[in-house]
Amino acid sequence: MINHPFLSVCMIVKNEADLLPGCLESISDLADEIIVVDTGSTDNTVKIALNYGAKVYHEIWQNHFGKARNRSLEQARGQWVLILDADERFPLEFKNRLIPLLYRAILRKTEGIIVKIKSYYGKDIGYNYVFDSACRIFRNRPEYRFKLSLHEEMSHIILKKNPKARIETTDIYIEHFGYVEKIIHQKRKNERNLNILKRELENNPHDPFLNYACGTEYFQQQQYQLALDYYRKALKVDLKTLSFGADLIYKMAVSYLHLREYKKGLMTVERGLKIFPDFTALWFIKGELHYLQGQLEIARSAYQKCLEIRSDPRRYIQINGLESFRTYWALGRTFEKEGNEEKAVEFYCLAYQNNHQYQSAYEGILRIFKSQKNRILNYLDFSSINSNYDPVFDLYKTWLSGGETYEQN
């Protein structure tokens, strides 16, 4: 007899032999059963799943994620369901917390639990990541089934069935690697998703969510004009009624920035801030748009706002560094542009101290380092440096490579 809530991990997969082992390893000792619906793998995906003790079911792919997910839910016998994808991991640090969380949720008559999704992006898995949230843990009930073909949120399904249902939030997060450049190119997910969404749009051309989702696929491919074409269609309804409204406005502003349509970007940001005044990412983009137009004092004020407010993670995406090193760097860059090298160094150093891997901060220090060596060396206080490794010592060595020596006063 098991002594904790019976947890079913439900997955749908296709040709995920490279990513699946890491995912299954992360939850194999948590799940009471693993349900894998395979939609036509031609690699070792099925064999890997079976080796981890998963129950594997085969489903013909119908270009509909909802139907495939529902097949996995139909096979689940647990009291609770955890939805995972092959490009995701359940972090070790949260394993001891999950089962007690489910115990408490039963006592509180909770129907769904919203977790954070930590999505890495860019070339490497490092400090470039975004936090979003989704209801990935929920009660296993036959009425909780997906209807949309893509990107459907289970909390909306639960609340539609029972508007008074209790939905909890937790700081537990799932790691997601699907936006890392190498994986995006290998899996060609944008192309697949766009095909699904465009078929849906043929039947519902004015649906705000479908237009937003389609625009986001183009946004991820850096096709910003096409992204805006769909975002504008999504924006034809009252922004306050859209659960994805903050993200829509943010991505529109970023698209205008990349297209160098700065005035349109600012108009979009100002519209968004009237409804989402505590959205850090919007304030940062506001700063960027003003900076690029040479409006440095206004830009600095917007950046400063990023350090003052704390966005609600239940409402907004959380971009790593906007409340710390990225904004310190942006402030440093603004001061440097104004010719205030002392303040520029101060903020570049704050950025570097906050994240030693942030190359932009290092480069900012080095630029001024070369023109004002003595002032910066005194600021960094090399008297505190010993012969062991210190991140600042690398700066000293770089400076020395110019063929000069430093003598303290």
- The 10s digit of each residue's pLDDT in 324-370 is 999 999 999 999 999 999 999 999 999 999 999 999 999 999 898 77
Calculate the average pLDDT of the chain: 90
At 260, the pLDDT band (50, 70, 90 cuts) reads very high
Domain ranges of the chain: 7-183, 325-400
Q: Roughly how many angstroms between the first and final C-alpha of the chain, as a whole number?
A: 75
Burial 342-375 (b: 16+ CB within 10 A, else e): ebbbbbbbbbbebbeebebbbebbeebbeebeee
Query: How far apart are alpha carbons 193 and 179 in whole angstroms?
Result: 14
Q: What is the pTM of this model?
A: 0.85
Does 325-400 match 7-183 at the fold level?
no
pLDDT value of position 77: 95
What are 269's two structure tokens?
A: 């940001």
> CATH assignment of 325-400, given 1.25.40, 3.40.50, 1.10.8, 2.60.40?
1.25.40
Query: How far apart are alpha carbons 378 and 371 in whole angstroms?
Result: 14
Q: Which CATH superfamily is domain 7-183 in?
A: Spore Coat Polysaccharide Biosynthesis Protein SpsA; Chain A (3.90.550.10)
Q: Are strands 129-139 and 110-122 parallel, antiparallel or unpaired?
A: antiparallel
- Single-letter residue type at 270: E
Q: Is the pLDDT of residue 167 over 70?
A: yes
Contact 257, 249 (CB under 8 A): no
- Single-letter residue type at 81: V
Q: Is the pLDDT of residue 4 over 80?
A: no
Query: How far apart are alpha carbons 270 and 267 in whole angstroms?
Result: 5
Burial class (CB in 10 A: 0-12, 13-18, 19+), 141: middle
